[in-house]
Amino acid sequence: SNFNAATSRSANLASSGVLDAYNCFNSRAAPAPSSATTTASGPLSGCTISVKDNICTQDMPTTASSLMLKDYASSYDATVVSLLRSAGADIVGKTNCDEFGMGSDNVHSHFGPVINPAMGGREAEEQKRSAGGSSGGAAASVKAGYCRIAIGSDTGGSIRLPASYCGLWGLKPSYGLISRWGLISYADSLDTIGVLADNWSECQETFDVLSAPDKKDPTSAGEQVRSAADEVADEALSKFSSSSAPGTEGCLRGLRIGIPTTLFPSSLDAQVLPSFSRLLCHLEDHLGASIIPVELPSTGLALSAYYVIASAEASSNLARYDGVRYGFRSEEEKLPGEHPYAATRSTGFGEEVRKRILLGTHALSADAFDNTFLAAQRIRQTIKDEFDQVFRIPNVLHGRGAQTEQHAPSALSAGSQEGVDVLLHPSAVNTAPLLSALMPSSSTEEACPVGFSAPAGSAGLDEYVQDLLTVSSSLAGLPSVSMPLGRGAQDGWPIGMMATSQWGMEKVLGQLAEGLQ
Ligand code: GLN
């Protein structure tokens, strides 16, 4: 076969603790797929990039870290992979992740957990921490220095949470800007492909290569809406363009930064706030930005709505793994009367995935549909509307300026009828959690993402609560970046903060990022 997980490169890495970040290394002997044209002069020429293992590659297996797809080899490259190859990137391997992207700590992988390398990865066994999930391998691959850039996917925080835990930059772009063709679907209406790197410029350069219309993805944004967004972004930037160089006194004068009070939950780690307040002072006093408290009342319901919608879509998407056409097939002795389909799915999927399928199937059943799935969709719409109301930048998906006509100015952006350009809040409620507290065997059985019936403090429930701050922008399809905010004063582990802007406003996020970099 053309691909082989064991290469001499991987052997060297075994001792450095990087192996758990990768499911497969690119064998240099493998010929480049004939369909790909690798240009030595492309914008990513010679740049080492890892690709999350739920994104199809022709020259390496694509497993989504599931037994179900353990030996699956795609016959084609995902659109993003073709774009990377054409831009001259050196794809080094496929990174470990939570099975089908379902998880927040990369502990639900058929290939085992990913160890967070932010402190060298050489801590005592019981001190090792999670790299975050589901793109934990992606974050670890960059942090451990094995590649410059990682391509991950983010459905409800899977790029931003690992970036925060590992002290990296992680960009989840606006929904529809980067093609999902060749991404193994988790929840189509939320799935995005994005970038993790050590600095903003590399995120931005990679985003520029990958952001393109794609006929193969029906949800890919077309040329028209892209140029409308570009126009709106330029107009927005002109309001806070400054003659000062990025990072210098007054460089963000005119930028209006909203602080969503609802995204500072009581569960927030005490280490996070001091760093965040210092940053706000810096933004206001030195860089000249305005800090404005805003309210997004419905974001408090986002986590429940997210888990209903994501699980419902997942239950439908995962129906295709039936062991008949491709993928794993259980050869176990069937119980009398048991269908091979049931045996295949109960063995091929891990516990977390089966939990989501059950939850999603329930949410879509006739009895539960109105009170769960429809209710969650209504919350999603309300959250979108609230974002549109707090931003002064119009949402081009509704036609330019449409939302200002539809919604009367409300008390949402209290203190400012004018609205804000970006929202800023912590990326996560805590620093990276200890792996020992997270491994599936130690989590409680009662853990359930909806209804919060599990006893407070159970490890299983904690996992879902980690997504508290990331899911709102996913539900609204907005661009969102997690940026490193130093290290916790108590434990010394990385802290992240998250900036979100209006749909298509990656450039606005860039302006803030460059000011802070
Ligand atoms: N932790 C969230 C979940 O399990 C988000 C995962 C993701 O973004 N892929 O659904």
47 pLDDT higher than 70:
yes
Average pLDDT (96-102) is 98
How many whole angstroms separate alpha carbon 127 and alpha carbon 194? 30
How many whole angstroms separate alpha carbon 352 and alpha carbon 448? 10
Task: Label residue 458 by pLDDT band (50, 70, 90).
Answer: very low
ipTM of this predicted complex? Answer: 0.98
Residues in the chain, total: 517
Residue 304 sits at the vertex; the CA angle it makes with 160 and 130, to the nearest 5 degrees, is 35
By DSSP bridging, strand 290-294 and strand 192-197 are: unpaired
Task: Label residue 366 by pLDDT band (50, 70, 90).
Answer: very high
Average pLDDT (276-280) is 97
User: How far away, in angstroms, is 39 Cα from ligand 1 center?
Assistant: 34
Average pLDDT (45-65) is 97
Average pLDDT (52-80) is 97
Comparing 108-122, 183-197, 381-395, the range with the smallest average pLDDT is 108-122
Q: Which atom of ligand 1 is least distant from the CA of 135?
A: 9
72 pLDDT higher than 70:
yes
By DSSP bridging, strand 192-197 and strand 256-260 are: unpaired
**Strand (E) or helix (H) holding 375:** helix 375-390
More confident residue, 243 or 254: 254
CB 482 within 8 A of CB 159: yes
Average pLDDT, the chain: 88
Specify the pLDDT at position 334. Answer: 64
More confident residue, 121 or 45: 45
CA-based torsion, 57, 81, 94, 35: positive or negative:
positive
Over the stretch 463-506, which tens digit does the pLDDT of each residue have?
A: 899 999 999 999 999 999 999 999 999 999 999 999 999 999 99
**Strand (E) or helix (H) holding 471:** helix 471-476
User: How far away, in angstroms, is 460 Cα from ligand 1 center?
Assistant: 14
Q: Which residues pair with 506 in a beta bridge?
A: none
Task: Label residue 402 by pLDDT band (50, 70, 90).
Answer: very low
- Nearest CA residue ID for atom 10, ligand 1: 102
Q: Which residues pair with 290 in a beta bridge?
A: 256
How many whole angstroms separate alpha carbon 447 and alpha carbon 463? 9
Specify the pLDDT at position 411. Answer: 39
120 pLDDT higher than 90:
no
More confident residue, 423 or 245: 423
CA atoms within 13 A on the CB side of 90: 12
Percent of the chain with pLDDT over 90: 77
User: How far away, in angstroms, is 156 Cα from ligand 1 center?
Assistant: 5
* Dihedrals phi, psi of 116, to nearest 5 degrees: -70, 120
Residue 218 makes CB contacts below 8 A (sequence gap 6+) with none
CB 139 within 8 A of CB 121: no
Percent of the chain with pLDDT over 70: 85
Q: Which atom of ligand 1 is least distant from the CA of 103?
A: 4
Specify the pLDDT at position 17. Answer: 57
How many whole angstroms separate alpha carbon 100 and alpha carbon 106? 11
Task: Label residue 192 by pLDDT band (50, 70, 90).
Answer: very high
Catalytic residues: 52, 134, 158
How many whole angstroms separate alpha carbon 41 and alpha carbon 36? 15
Specify the pLDDT at position 340. Answer: 83
361 pLDDT higher than 90:
yes
Nearest to 96 by CA among 21, 189, 194: 21
Q: Which atom of ligand 1 is least distant from the CA of 154?
A: 8
CB 295 within 8 A of CB 317: no
Task: Label residue 39 by pLDDT band (50, 70, 90).
Answer: low
- Measured from CB, residues less than 6 Å from any atom of ligand 1 are 101-104, 134, 154-158, 186, 310, 467
Task: Label residue 260 by pLDDT band (50, 70, 90).
Answer: very high
Testing ligand 1's pocket by substitution, the residue of 54, 65, 158 carrying the most ligand atoms inside 8 A of its CB is 158
How many whole angstroms separate alpha carbon 17 and alpha carbon 13? 7
Task: Label residue 413 by pLDDT band (50, 70, 90).
Answer: very low
Task: Label residue 324 by pLDDT band (50, 70, 90).
Answer: confident
Tell me the one-letter amino acid at 480.
S
Alpha helices in 290-339 (DSSP H): 302-317
Over the stretch 135-157, which tens digit does the pLDDT of each residue have?
A: 999 999 999 999 999 999 999 99
Cis peptide before 220 (omega within 30 of 0): no
Instruction: Name all domains of the chain by residue range, CATH numbers in brackets.
Output: 8-221 (3.90.1300.10), 224-299+378-516 (3.90.1300.10), 304-370 (no CATH)
Specify the pLDDT at position 517. Answer: 82
Testing ligand 1's pocket by substitution, the residue of 97, 467, 475, 480 carrying the most ligand atoms inside 8 A of its CB is 467
Residue 21 makes CB contacts below 8 A (sequence gap 6+) with 50, 95, 96, 114, 117, 131, 136, 137, 138, 140, 141, 144, 146
Q: Which atom of ligand 1 is least distant from the CA of 463?
A: 1
User: How far away, in angstroms, is 191 Cα from ligand 1 center?
Assistant: 9
CB 254 within 8 A of CB 242: yes
Comparing 9-23, 110-124, 266-280, 355-369, the range with the smallest average pLDDT is 9-23
CB 115 within 8 A of CB 20: yes
Average pLDDT (291-304) is 96
User: How far away, in angstroms, is 470 Cα from ligand 1 center?
Assistant: 9
- Nearest CA residue ID for atom 5, ligand 1: 156
Residue 371 makes CB contacts below 8 A (sequence gap 6+) with none
75 pLDDT higher than 70:
yes
Specify the pLDDT at position 122. Answer: 82
78 pLDDT higher than 80:
yes
Task: Label residue 190 by pLDDT band (50, 70, 90).
Answer: very high
Average pLDDT (319-325) is 91
Nearest to 497 by CA among 512, 507, 476: 512
Average pLDDT (105-117) is 96
Specify the pLDDT at position 242. Answer: 76
